[in-house]
Chain A
Amino acid sequence: MKTTRQGTRRTLHALLLAGAGLCIAGSAQAADPMVKACAKDGQFVIGFSQANNAEPYRQHVNDELTAAAKAVPGFALQIADGAGNVNTQTSQVDNFITQKVDLLLISPFEAAPLTPAVKRAMDAGIPVIELDRKTVGDPGKDYTAFIGGDNYKIALEAGKYTAKTLLPDGGEAAVLEGLPSSTPAVERLNGFKDGVKENAKIQVVAEQAADWVPDKAQTAFAAMLQAHPDIKVLYASNDMMAAGALLAAKGAGKQVKIIGTDGLPGPAGGIEAVAKGDWAATFTYPTGAKEAIEMSKKILLDCATSVEPTVTVETTAITAENAKQLMGK
């Protein structure tokens, strides 16, 4: 007797559960978690495919990501270095897919070449958050989300700052470009040139590529100062080149207002150079690392059903006014 009652009860339970399950399934079309295996207390592996560890800025991204991931108990972060080579980076993304990482973070070295690899990850059910650089397609569709700064806008800000604050009465300006034909180099060059157009009395008299590195920047800027002794402002497309340019200006005994880009922290970083009064300004290029780990938490731990497809992290102008207080951060 007892047993049959229990049996009926069990059947009822089962029916109820099944019904509930059906209801959930029915309404879940729009509200499935993005990752089925998500769990508050789960253990997750996040693969980060970095474009090129040789760039100090990218090392800084790695450091921030590592720190942010360490703060989350269930997260293990693996970083692969693409070494500035689209073929290497593609194979590393494929390796992450083989490993079935729970989430892929990527800063593609170039957009089009890494697009197929990102598609393979998405097809394998791995969410892909793109950091700092995008592949071809739309966030939210071809990849999960993009988090990063806007190279063009950051350089545009630097150009406007030059037009309004550094050279209000006009004069000669120069630009040091990154690695020619690489996406960020092109975007930053165009952004700065569009920004200084606000002041018709400023002429950009020289542009040279220095491949992001300080020694080439020093050589290039020394030559520029020979040819154009009246250069008042130099826009360097990254902090490293700004550091090289400063050496050239000192060597030539010239007072040039130097603007960097990236705003790297720490000794020999851009923030310190501005605080010391060596440069006029640097414009930070935020890593988005904290935001990326936050988003990973939402997807993997909180079982989010959707995330913001584009998160633009804003640049901060670091000038003589705020550099000292930002030093310790």
Chain B
Amino acid sequence: MSEQKISVTASPAVPAAAPRHRDPLALVVRFQSLIGLVVVAIGGIIFSPRRHGQILFLDPDNIANIVRAVSETGIIAIGMTFVIITAGIDLSVGAVLGLSSVVTASMMISGGFGLIPTILAVLIMGVVFGAIQGTISTRFRLEPFIVTLAGLQAARGLALVVSGNQYINISYGDGPGLAPPVFAILGERLFNNTVPVATIVFIVFAAIATIVLNTTRFGRYVFAVGGNERAARISGVPVSMVKISVYAITGFASALAGIVHAGQFNFGSANDGMGYELTAIAAVVIGGTSLFGGAGSMVGTVAGTIMLGALANILQLNNITPAMQLLATAAIIVLAAVLQSLVRRREGLGR
């Protein structure tokens, strides 16, 4: 057991998730969300309503609906994956999305700022907000759960202050009090009106995050910190820097999602993004990332996100009540967690 820990951290290039026992169960867990996505897709095709012999679930418009609807929580879940691999958690993400949507709207509408300065300012704000949370958490040895819970309240409060307790509508045009029309592209589809722009942002961000997590030294550090913090520290990993960085990344992701939200819905409100933190955590866990840290996969998170969206979609197409949707999601989360814990036990990691 101790041997194993050392081997994990001595060669952080090998993520702890890599099955070295050729345990079939471990393989299942590694790809559980992809398997889940395939299962949901097959279920979707089987149970899809049909019109003139056409399977509605596979209708290009329907696929576009699914991937558009999950793009905001997906962007957040990607940031959350970094945090959860370090065995942390960030509850402030939904509130930061709301704050970012409000700041985006008010900078362009009442502040008269252009598109590029607005986007840069909001992204920097997200990074700073996350970095502050990470710093407080590492400096004072506080549970990230508590720190980001406070961050959630702070972000909602700031959003109400910025917006003066009012929602802000974004109108487009040229002149004071109007946003540049190009911003509305976030609510549209490209490539002959097929692929939602919000989804493109999500997928591009996911690709970059996958490369960072799987091929860079920083990515290895993230796994090392989550796998065994003490061992990582001893072997020279800048633990504090890594921890602060992952919260900054999550802040960036939430701000990006807030910008996408404002552009999709021409709107900024302090109430937006409520509950997104839980949807994102669910997607990450279903994606096979362990809440104990040290193991996880970005591709899994993306598949988990899309799976939850596809599930909601097929249930609605069949007119199944929201209650069933919640229960189905609950069952999937429990199943994912149970699978993970079985593998951990087999690998002798306890818990």
Contacts and interface: CB of A to CB of B under 8 A. Distances in A.
A112 B167 CA distance: 10
B76 to A, nearest CB: 12
Nearest to B260: A87
A249 interface: no
B146 interface: no
Contacts, number: 88
B114 interface: no
Interface stretch (B235-243, B246-254, B266-274): B266-274
A112 B267 contact: yes
A100 B50 CA distance: 11
A112 B265 contact: yes
Interface stretch (A146-154, A176-184, A265-273): A176-184
B170 A112 contact: yes
Nearest to B64: A94
A86 B267 contact: yes
B69 interface: yes
A113 B317 contact: no
Interface stretch (B158-166, B286-294, B329-337): B158-166
Chain B facing A: main interface SS? helix
B59 interface: yes
B62 A95 contact: yes
Interface residues of B, number: 37
Contact of A85 (B66, B160, B275, B313): B275
B266 A91 contact: no
Given A91-B313, A180-B160, A113 B65 contact: no
B143 interface: no
Given A91-B65, A99-B49, A181-B163, A86 B316 contact: no
Among A78, A87, A91, A182, the one with the most B-chain Cβ atoms within 10 Å of its Cβ is A87
Interface string B223-267: 000000000000000000000000000000000000001001111
A112 B272 CA distance: 13
Given A91-B312, A113-B266, A115-B266, 10 more contacts: A87-B69, A87-B72, A87-B264, A95-B65, A95-B317, A98-B317, A111-B169, A116-B187, A181-B163, A182-B167
B68 interface: yes
A56 interface: no
Contact of A81 (B169, B261, B267, B322): B322
Interface in A176-201: 179-183, 186
Contacts of A179: 271
B114 to A, nearest CB: 21
A110 to B, nearest CB: 6
A197 to B, nearest CB: 21
A100 B166 CA distance: 35
A186 B166 contact: yes
A28 to B, nearest CB: 27
Interface in B303-349: 309, 312-313, 316-317, 319, 322
B56 A113 contact: no
Interface in B58-113: 59, 61-62, 65-66, 68-69, 72
16 contacts: A86-B267, A88-B69, A92-B316, A94-B69, A95-B313, A95-B317, A99-B49, A99-B317, A110-B267, A112-B170, A112-B266, A181-B167, A181-B269, A181-B271, A182-B167, A182-B271
B51 interface: yes
B270 A87 contact: no
Q: How large is the interface on A (under 10, 10 to 19, 20 to 34, 35 or more residues)?
A: 20 to 34
A323 to B, nearest CB: 33
A99 B49 CA distance: 8
A98 B163 contact: no
A204 interface: no
B265 A86 contact: yes
Interface in A85-133: 85-88, 90-92, 94-95, 97-100, 110-113, 115-116
Contacts of A81: 322
Contacts of B167: 110, 181-183
A87 B265 contact: yes
A129 B268 CA distance: 25
Contacts of A110: 167, 265, 267, 269
A274 B51 CA distance: 51
A83 interface: yes
A53 interface: yes
A86 B272 CA distance: 8
A58 B8 CA distance: 54
